[in-house]
């Protein structure tokens, strides 16, 4: 007889605990929100991007630098990581590698604050199968999915192995201005 009341008590306790947890919509929303650092990430639509002026590579084998400046036009936001940069030529695109010599730092930008990064590339030979005849550059920000495309007018980019592996790198964001 004693087994029955203990079993009923255990089941009742389990149901009470489950009932307390099932209405946890606000608790789980709070947890997700506190772990989602992307909510403060800078967004392409809320920043101004300026590509160049570049120190373009004049001939095949030369190195060129393309600075990119970002100005926050919206509410306070953060840049946490490297920018995403993709070079494209027609239907072919290639992601530019991160410069491993620098470490990204988390930057908080108030409205009007600026940050910058540099794309360094090696110019390829015109018509070479190992070079990417890039004509556009797409930039994405860390924590934000959307990107913005710009015209690439600095010549073909040499590939390390082939056109899909550009001999190029992008630095981490740096605070610019005062």
Given a cut of 80, whether residue 22 has pLDDT beyond it is no
Taking 50 as the threshold, does the pLDDT of residue 78 lie above it?
yes
| Total-model pTM | 0.74
Q: Are residues 91 and 122 in the same domain?
A: yes
List all residues 6 or more positions away from 40 whose beta carbon is below 8 Å from its beta carbon. 76, 77, 78
Residues 50 and 26 in one domain: no
Which residues span the domain enclosing 120?
A: 42-176
Q: What is the pLDDT of residue 90?
A: 85
- The reply to whether 9 and 89 lie within a common domain is no
Structural domain total, the chain: 2
Residue 148: closest CA among 86, 82, 98, 79: 86
How does residue 178 score in pLDDT terms, banded at 50, 70 and 90?
low
Residue 8 burial (CB < 10 Å; 0-12/13-18/19+)?
exposed
To the nearest whole percent, how much of the chain has pLDDT over 70?
78
- Rounded to the nearest angstrom, the gap between the alpha carbon of residue 120 and the centroid of all alpha carbons in its chain is 17
More confident residue, 12 or 136: 136
Using CA atoms, how far apart are residues 151 and 153, in angstroms rounded to an integer?
6
Same domain, 106 and 164: yes
């Amino acid at each position: 007889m004693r087994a029955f009341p203990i079993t009923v008590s255990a089941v009742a306790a389990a149901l009470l605990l489950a009932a307390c947890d099932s209405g946890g919509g606000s608790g789980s929303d709070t947890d997700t929100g506190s772990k989602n650092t992307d909510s403060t990430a800078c967004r392409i639509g809320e920043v101004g991007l300026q590509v160049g002026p570049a120190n373009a590579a004049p001939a095949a084998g030369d190195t060129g630098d393309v600075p990119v400046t970002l100005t926050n036009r919206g509410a306070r936001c953060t840049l946490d990581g490297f920018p995403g940069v993709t070079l494209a030529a027609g239907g072919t695109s290639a992601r530019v590698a991160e410069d491993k010599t620098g470490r990204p730092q988390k930057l908080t930008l108030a409205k009007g604050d600026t940050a910058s990064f540099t794309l360094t590339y090696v110019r390829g030979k015109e018509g070479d199968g190992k070079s990417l005849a890039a004509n556009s550059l797409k930039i994405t920000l860390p924590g934000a999915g959307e990107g913005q495309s710009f015209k690439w007018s600095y010549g073909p980019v040499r590939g390390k192995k082939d056109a899909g592996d550009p001999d190029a790198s992008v630095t981490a964001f740096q605070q610019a201005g005062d």
